[in-house]
Amino acid sequence: MSSSPPVNPVEIARIALKRLTERGLPPTPENYAQFYNAVLTIKAPQNKSTDEVQLAWQVIYQLDEVLEGASGSTGGLLQSLSGGSDSMLQSLGVLQHARQAHAEQRVSIEESHSTLEALLDDVIATTRSMHGTVHTSHAELQAIRTTLRQIEEDLAFNRKALEMDALTGALNRQGLDHLLMREVKRARRMNQRLAVAMFDLDDFKQINDRFGHLVGDQVLVHVTSLARAVLRDTDFLIRYGGEEFLIVLTDTDVKGAQYVIDRLRIVATRTPFQHHHQRIEVQFSAGIADLRPEENGRALVLRADEALYRAKHSGRGRVEIAG
């Protein structure tokens, strides 16, 4: 199989800037980054999942069609208004000339009335035509607005699908970045604490080796259900890696996070996974960290990961606090 040609960053930058210009958007770093990543998704699909590439193409095609329709509708409306305006100006010019001629008594009263009636008929017809065009264009623009709203809903649905782990239904790494940014901002704004707990199943490889990967997947689903049982509605569960999970705990400090991990450990001990009437004990090690001043979400998770690393190398079922 032949490999895809290398991606030229200069070409991607050129296309991204062209897209910005076509959309009439200012070339801010945020706008440029969004268009650059969108173009990169199409130009380098080997770096993205199939679903992401298909979604990118779908969105671009839909937006191009909608924008083309909007351009056609507004262009037709402007052309009609321009033509109607020229016609009405011409009629008003004739009307002014007739008024001047009548004032100078160069035409009869009957001729003036005839001219006025013809001009009024022309103005009425032009006005009706313009009104019809405006009404049609308004309906078309309303349809375009409805289509754009539908695209927004489809994007929100597809983004949720892309940010969800297919096996467990928890968030995945892709959904984590957006979540962390939002929750860190909220914690700063509300002057609240924010904590994360990362836990990794101990000896999970032995479960896969002994019972098979299908049973291993079922154990992961089982652990996900247990975690959801002890979490609040405002907390979030993320499948961070193969058998590694991350819990984002809003308005919670280190002690609160440790309490959640202890509860999860108790529930896991009391509710083992059953496979053909055989108990499969699930144990895990965990690392906990809470948000420091001026710290971003990635640094917070990194410190929890380092604490987990210490816990994993200190023995099974251990919990370490970062910092």
Q: What is the pLDDT of residues 188-224, one digit of tens each?
A: 999 999 999 999 999 999 999 999 999 999 999 999 9
pLDDT at site 60: 52
pLDDT at site 68: 55
- Percent of the chain past pLDDT 70, that is, above it, reads 50
pLDDT at site 323: 82
pLDDT at site 74: 58
pLDDT at site 265: 95
Separation of alpha carbons 295 and 200, rounded Å: 24
224-231 average pLDDT score: 96
- Distance between terminal CA atoms of the chain? 49
Separation of alpha carbons 194 and 197, rounded Å: 10
Q: What is the pLDDT of residues 70-97, one digit of tens each?
A: 555 555 555 665 555 556 556 556 655 6
| Neighbouring-strand partners of residue 233 | none
Q: To the nearest 10°, the Cα dihedral for 221, 227, 233, 235?
A: -110
What topology does CATH give the domain 173-321?
Alpha-Beta Plaits (3.30.70)
Domain ranges of the chain: 61-162, 173-321
Of 66 and 117, the structure prediction assigns the larger pLDDT to 117
127-151 average pLDDT score: 64
pLDDT at site 311: 95
Of 48 and 255, the structure prediction assigns the larger pLDDT to 255
- 10 Å Cβ neighbour count for 220? 23
Secondary structure string (H, E, C) spanning the chain: CCCCCCCCHHHHHHHHHHHHHHHCCCCCHHHHHHHHHHHHHHHCHHHCCHHHHHHHHHHHHHHHHHHHHHHHHHHHHHHHHHHHHHHHHHHHHHHHHHHHHHHCCCCCHHHHHHHHHHHHHHHHHHHHHHHHHHHHHHHHHHHHHHHHHHHHHHHHHHHHHHCECCCCCCECHHHHHHHHHHHHHHHHHHCCCEEEEEEEECCHHHHHHHHCHHHHHHHHHHHHHHHHHHCCCCCEEEECCCCEEEEEEECCCHHHHHHHHHHHHHHHHHCCEEECCEEECCCEEEEEEECCCCCCHHHHHHHHHHHHHHHHCCCCCCEEECC
Told to judge if 243 belongs to the known catalytic residues of this protein, a careful annotator would answer yes
pLDDT at site 36: 63
| Neighbouring-strand partners of residue 171 | 164, 238
52, 140, 152, 243: the active-site residue:
243
- 10 Å Cβ neighbour count for 59? 15
The pLDDT of residue 1 is above 50: no
pTM over 0.85, yes/no:
no
Mean pLDDT of the chain: 77
Q: What is the pLDDT of residues 156-196, one digit of tens each?
A: 555 666 788 889 999 998 889 889 999 999 999 999 999 99
Locate 191 and state its tokens.
């002057």
Q: What is the pLDDT of residues 29-76, one digit of tens each?
A: 666 666 666 666 555 544 445 455 455 545 554 555 555 555 555 555
